[in-house]
Chain A
Amino acid sequence: MEIFQYDFMQRAFTAGIIVGLICPVVGLFISLRRMSMISDALAHVCLAGVAAGLLTGLHPIITASAFAVTGALCIEKLRDVFKNYSEIAIAIILSTGIALGAILLDLGKGYNANFMSYLFGSIVAINETDIKIIASTGLAIFALIMLLRKELFFISFDEEGARLSGIPVQIITLSFTALTALTIAVAIRVVGILLVSSLIVLPVAAAMRMARSFKEALVISMIMAETSVVVGLFASFYMNLAPGGAIVMTSVCLLLVTLVVQQRRSAAVKLAEKLPQREDSSV
C-alpha cells in the first residue's frame, strides 16, 4: 500500500497505535472517576511545557511531560484543599498552564510551524527520537495501568470501600494522575494539545454506552480509539487533513453511530415489551 511506503507514515502509525492504546485506558478510569476535565487541564499545562522546550532547546515532549506531571500533582494537592469543589483545582491549573504557555511562547517568539504541529498534531513532524520517547513511555504506562487495573477499578467504583479494605488509595491515585499526565504529554505529538482530551474521553463515552461490564468497557474503548487513529491517519494522508482533527472527528462519528444504534435498540426493546401486552389485551 502506498501509504506505508513512506517512513513518516510508518512512524505516524507506530506513534498513533501506541497513543490509541493508552489514551482510552487512562480515559476509562478518568471518566469513571468523573474527572474528564483533568485531561483538558493537563493538555493546557503541556502547552507551557512545549513552549519551555522550544525556548530552552530541550525535547518538547520531555519538558511537556515534566510540566504535566507537576501540574497533575498540583491538581491532586488542590483537590485536597478544595475538597468538595474539585473542579476548581482543574480550572486553576488549566488557566495557569495557558498563562504560563503564553508568556513562554512570547519570550521565545515561538509561534511558528513547529509549535503549531504540537497544537494540532502532525504526522510529518514525528521523528525517530519522538518514536523512541512515545514507544518507551507509552508501553510503560500501558503495563503499569494494566498491573494496577483491579485497584483502579475498586477505587473508581467505591473509593471509601477500597481504602477500608486496605488498598493504598492515595499512592495509587497519585501514581495514576502522574501516568495520566505522561499519557497526555506523549499523545500531543500525534493529536495535538487542543485535541488530546477528545481521544481520551470520546472512545470511552462510546464504550460506556455499549458495555455491560468493566472488561467490555475497556476492550470497546480501546477498539474505538484504535479505529479512530487508523481511519484518521488514512484520512489525514489521502485528504491532506490535520491528523488530530481527522482522528478526533472519526471518534465523534463513531460516538454518534453508537448513540443512534443504542437509541434504536432500546426503542426496539421497549416495543417488544409492549407487543405481548397488546396481544394479551386483544384476546
Chain B
Amino acid sequence: MRDVPVVELKNVSFTYGCHPVLDNISLTIGSGEAVGLVGPNGAGKTTLLKIILGQLKPQAGTVQLFGQDVSKFKERYKIGYVSQRAVHFNPQFPATVREVVASGRVARRGLFRPLTRTDYSRVDRALELVGLRELSKQPVGILSGGQQQRVFIARSLVAEPAILILDEPTVGIDPAAQTSLYKLLRHLNQKEQMTLLIVSHEMEGLSSVITRQVCLDRYVCTCQCRTAPLSQLREDTCTKRLVFQVAE
C-alpha cells in the first residue's frame, strides 16, 4: 500500500477575476520529499501556496492534505509555514527569541491551556536545531535577517509539522546566511525526515537541498528532475503542459 501523499493537487485552476493564474495544475508531494517550486514573478507561486494552505479556494480541481480535503483539514499544526513576510515584523516588538519560538506551540496546546515543560523542551530543541540556543534570551528585533529567518523556522518546527513550507526563504539575507540556511534545510530533510516545499524565484543555491524541482511559468505548470539546471528546465519544458512526475 502506498503512503498517503502529504499534498495532492488534482486539476486545480484558479482565476483572479478574468485573469487565469493557475490552469489545470496537478502536483503530488510525498512524505520525505524536498520539492522546490520555482518560477518568475507573477507565475502564480504564491497563489498555489495559498491554495495549499487553504487561504484560497480554487474554482476547479481538488486539494488534499494527508488524504483529507483541505477545507476539512483540522490538524493545521502539521503544516509548518514560514512566510516571506514573517521577517517584516515590528523590530521594536518586545519579545525574546524564545518567546517567539514558543508561540509556535500555542495552537498545539489549545485554548486556555498554558505551555508546559514539555512544550519548552521542544522550544529548546528547535532552537538548538537552528543554532540559536545562545541567543534565546535576546530581543528578536536585534537579530540579523538570517537569524530572524531561523527564528521563524524554529517557530514552525516546535509544532512538530509533517511538512515545512518556505516562501522565498533567501530573500533579504546575505550569502553567508543563505549557505547556512541551505545546510539547515538539508539537515531537516535528510536527518529529521522533514518534507519540504520551498518556493523561490531562483533555485540555483537550493539545488543542493531539493530532491525535485517544479517549474511554474505563467499558468502552465511543468516538472523537471533535480539534475536539470534552471535554464535548461525553462527551455525544455515550460512551453508544454505536463503532469508532474517524481524524479527517479
Contact = CB atoms under 8 A, between A and B. Distances in A.
Interface of A: 32, 147-148, 150-151, 153-154, 156-158, 160-162, 164-168, 207-208, 211-217
B103 A154 contact: yes
Contact of A167 (B74, B99, B107): B107
A216 B155 contact: no
Contacts of B159: 165
Interface in B70-103: 74-77, 79, 81, 83, 85-86, 89, 92-96, 99-100, 102-103
A217 B111 contact: no
Interface of B: 53, 55, 74-77, 79, 81, 83, 85-86, 89, 92-96, 99-100, 102-104, 106-107, 109, 111-112, 114-115, 137-139, 152, 155, 159
Contact of A208 (B55, B81, B92): B92
B155 A161 contact: yes
B96 A165 contact: no
Given A150-B103, A153-B103, A164-B76, A216 B111 contact: no
Nearest to B119: A150
Contact of B115 (A150, A213, A215): A150
Contacts of A151: 106, 111
A214 B152 CA distance: 17
Contacts, number: 79
A213 B107 contact: no
Contact of B106 (A32, A154, A207, A215): A154
Contacts of B83: 160-161, 164
Contacts of B115: 150
A32, A158, A168, A208: residue with the most chain B Cβ atoms closer than 10 Å: A158
A213 B99 contact: yes
Contact of B89 (A153, A158, A212): A158
A47 to B, nearest CB: 32
Contacts of A158: 86, 89, 103
Contacts of A161: 81, 83, 86, 152, 155
Contact of A214 (B76, B92, B96, B106): B96
Nearest to B112: A147
A10 B210 CA distance: 68
A150 B85 contact: no
Question: Would you list the 5 A-B pairs with minimal beta carbon distance, nearest first?
Answer: A166-B76, A166-B107, A217-B94, A154-B103, A165-B107
